[in-house]
Amino acid sequence: MVIYDSVAKEKRRFVPQHGNDVTLYVCGPTVYDDAHLGHAKSALVFDLLSRVLRANGYHVTYARNITDIDDKIIHKAKERHVSIGEITTTYIEAYHHDMAALGIARPNLEPRATESIEAMIIMIEQLLANNHAYAIENGDIYFDTSSDHRYLTLSGQLQDADARRQRVESSHLKRHQSDFALWKAVHDESIAFEAPFGRGRPGWHLECSAMIEKHLARDGAYAIDIHGGGADLLFPHHENEAAQTRCATNHELAAYWMHNGFVTIEGEKMSKSLGNSFFIKDALKVYQGEVLRFYLLSTHYRANFNFNETDLLASKKRLDKLYRLKKRLFGLKAIAMVTPFQTQLLDALNDDLNVSKALALIDEMIVLSNEKLDINAKDKVAKKEALANIETIATLLGFGTNNPFNYFQHGIDTATRQTVEALIAQRNDAKRAKDFATSDALRDTILALGISLMDTPEGTFWERND
RNA sequence: GGCGCCAUCGCCAAGUGGUAAGGCCGGAGCCUGCAAAGCUUCUAUCCCCAGUUCAAAUCUGGGUGGCGCCUCCA
């Protein structure tokens, strides 16, 4: 397997530190609002990565954190006059629901910040003991970036202090502009945690380093094999995580760093300030989760992704073809077998998750299978192979996992369904009577309901139009 | 201002030194009572300029144009 390491800025052959075991940590969401398409992209990319790693025979421990204590959460709880727990429970459930709809498997571990306070306290104490952190008058504890000789080598920022001063809000109490809070002292009645160095709340960057130490880290040069997240996290979040870990422990944080590109809408990054966030739950009202999965995964993970409906529908048509083939194979049991296609598919994905190449292989496989079945509809070998190939696609990429008939009739309500089926029965009567004028008129009626008909030797099937 | 990414057919998108994958859309055909689906077939020399090389979309330099990070952020 080859992975693009966004710190080395080149593709590197992937070699785990500990034999067959792979540790993967990905920065998850802060649960103060619904998940948007950007969250989906990140979760999808690393879901795919974990699938591909496993397909290569690795034993993967995949952790994705949940930040459930944060100023934005507290703010929202106050705004709604509810507890923080109610906010986080609501959005954690929503997150899980949305991710499941996209066919994203749950990571092995989903550590929460509030359950990792002890680990964070331990790390702060290590940093204080090593003189990598200091407390200021009000009780806040900062990481001393000047004490880390490798600071900024991860992101390659290396900017001078004057440049940063322009942008960063100055805190006269910090020793250096780039120093960041490990612990924010709390003196009032608002939510806080007890710590030897005073009541307070953890800084954001700390939790990932602490959780990694607590749940994944093993002896060696690096705490874990792969650390992932959105491209916006490289600096300062991952830079700071890396600094904390190397200064508190005797190892670097991750052997490989992977960052996924952004989902943009109309060419602009989604953000609160622009008001252009596109929530997964809203997209799911219109499109099937699997179509969204296919679309969001169809562009290489490192490239920026400009979401638009035209491209989404083009992706849907591409996925449709996989399901049309599955429809032709309906009722047959898949038999485990090895085909050249499967090897090629894994090879493509092993090249830094080259999904475009994988999709091209899938298209070619579909055409070839259809061709064989057009020549001989009872070609058993072709059917067996095609089924096995579809199984592999489902396992590796999560595409084609549904019942093909349900897929094409997605979102049709019972009333419409009954109407359509009654009209089809009428039309079949007309067809039997060779009354093609009536039968064509009925098809137009059905078409007006958004339904396409397909006459086949096995009967008339219907599909929803998009 | 600093750091970084990107620019391939109408649209989406691989390929990163050896002579342009795939999909969508569109044209033609086969099949079909007519359709749909499926199949066959047709459509690019890679933003511009200069350089390196036997050979460049692919490397180097310079332009132009997008985008991201530097502040919470997937």
Residues A239, A103 within the same domain: yes
Residues A388, A434 within the same domain: no
A178 domain-assigned:
yes
Residues A181, A125 within the same domain: yes
Amino acid A78 CA to nucleotide B6 C1' distance, rounded Å: 42
Q: How far is CA A53 from the centre of its chain?
A: 15
- Complex ipTM: 0.96
The full length of chain A comes to 466
Position A165 pLDDT exceeds 70 = no
pLDDT recorded at residue A173: 78
Which residue's CA is nearest to the C1' of nucleotide B69? A232
Q: Which nucleotide is nearest to A295 (CA to C1')?
A: B12
Position A275 pLDDT exceeds 80 = no
Q: What is the 3-state secondary structure (H, E, C) of chain A?
A: CEEEECCCCEEEECCCCECCEEEEEECCCECCCCCEHHHHHHHHHHHHHHHHHHHCCCEEEEEECEECCCHHHHHHHHHHCCCHHHHHHHHHHHHHHHHHHCCCCCCCECCEHHHCHHHHHHHHHHHHHCCCEEECCCCCEEECHHHCCCCCCCCCCCCCHHHHHHHCCCCCCCCCCCCEEEEEECCCCCCCECCCCCCEEECHHHHHHHHHHHHHCCCCCEEEEEEEEEHHHHHHHHHHHHHHHHHHCCCEEEEEEEEECCEEECCEECCCCCCCCCEHHHHHHHCCHHHHHHHHHCCCCCCCEEECHHHHHHHHHHHHHHHHHHHHCCCCCCCCCCCHHHHHHHHHHHECCCHHHHHHHHHHHHHHHHHHHHHCCCCHHHHHHHHHHHHHHHHHHCCCCCCHHHHHCCCCCHHHHHHHHHHHHHHHHHHHCCCHHHHHHHHHHHHHCCEEEEEECCEEEEEECC
**Residue A437: count of CB within 10 angstroms of its CB:** 8
Distance, CA of A66 to CA of A28 (rounded, Å):
6
Position A166 pLDDT exceeds 70 = no
User: How do strand A305-307 and strand A263-265 relate by DSSP bridges?
Assistant: parallel
pLDDT recorded at residue A74: 95
Position A94 pLDDT exceeds 50 = yes
Which residue's CA is nearest to the C1' of nucleotide B73? A232
The pLDDT confidence band at residue A162, using thresholds 50, 70 and 90, is very low
Which residue's CA is nearest to the C1' of nucleotide B39? A371
Q: Which nucleotide is nearest to A259 (CA to C1')?
A: B74
Q: Which nucleotide is nearest to A267 (CA to C1')?
A: B67
Question: What's the average model confidence in pLDDT over A142-168?
Answer: 74
Amino acid A101 CA to nucleotide B9 C1' distance, rounded Å: 35
Residues A103, A20 within the same domain: yes
For A291-329, write each residue's pLDDT tens digit.
Answer: 999 999 999 999 999 999 999 999 999 999 999 999 999
For A45-55, write each residue's pLDDT tens digit.
Answer: 999 999 999 99
The pLDDT confidence band at residue A167, using thresholds 50, 70 and 90, is very low
Q: Which nucleotides of chain B have an atom under 7 angstroms from any protein CB?
A: 1-6, 11-15, 21-25, 32-40, 66-74
Please, what is the average pLDDT of chain A? 93
Residues A356, A445 within the same domain: no
Which residue's CA is nearest to the C1' of nucleotide B40? A371
Domain count, chain A: 3
Amino acid A298 CA to nucleotide B24 C1' distance, rounded Å: 13
Residues A217, A317 within the same domain: no
A209 domain-assigned:
yes
For A183-232, write each residue's pLDDT tens digit.
Answer: 999 998 889 999 999 999 999 999 999 999 999 999 999 999 999 999 99
Residues A424, A389 within the same domain: no
- Strand partners for A269: A264
Q: Which nucleotide is nearest to A262 (CA to C1')?
A: B74
Please, what's the largest Cα pairwise distance for chain A? 92
* Residue keyed to tokens 């259809």: A370
Amino acid A256 CA to nucleotide B63 C1' distance, rounded Å: 35
Residues A342, A443 within the same domain: no
Residues A257, A327 within the same domain: no
Domain boundary among A404, A419, A438: A404
CATH number, position A37: 3.40.50.620
Question: What's the average model confidence in pLDDT over A254-279?
Answer: 84
Domain that holds residue A424: 411-464
Question: What's the average model confidence in pLDDT over A125-136?
Answer: 96
pLDDT recorded at residue A171: 52
Q: Which residues have a Cβ under 8 Å from the Cβ of A364 and sit 6 or more positions away?
A: none
